[in-house]
Amino acid sequence: MTDTASENLSVFKRGRVFLTETKDELKKISKPTRQETTQLTIAALFIICFVAVCLMVIDLVFNRIMTAVLS
């Protein structure tokens, strides 16, 4: 729909068009399988743990540096 055509429609008609188009788009969505969901969840947990360990190591290094500098 062009901008000029949408300007000629009432608010309610534009809302109805929007909701109809949204419903059509939602029909195109494919849901992941249980196996895909499980695999992606495990991958996310590993990434979170890896980042947590990296941040812990960085924190320990900075802690030792600050302790050495300030003492």
pLDDT-derived band at 7 (thresholds 50, 70, 90) equals low
Which whole number is the average pLDDT over 16-38? Answer: 95
Predicted TM-score (pTM) above 0.85 = no
Burial of 14 (0-12, 13-18, 19+ CB in 10 A): middle
| Nearest-angstrom CA–CA distance, 28 and 22 | 10
Query: Is the pLDDT confidence value at 57 over 60?
Result: yes
Q: Is 17 exposed, middle or buried (0-12, 13-18, 19+ CB in 10 A)?
A: middle
61 lies in the same domain as 39: yes
Same structural domain, 38 and 23: no
Same domain, 45 and 68: yes
The parent domain of residue 17 ranges over 1-30
Instruction: Write down the pLDDT at residue 4.
Output: 57
Q: What is the pLDDT of residue 40?
A: 97
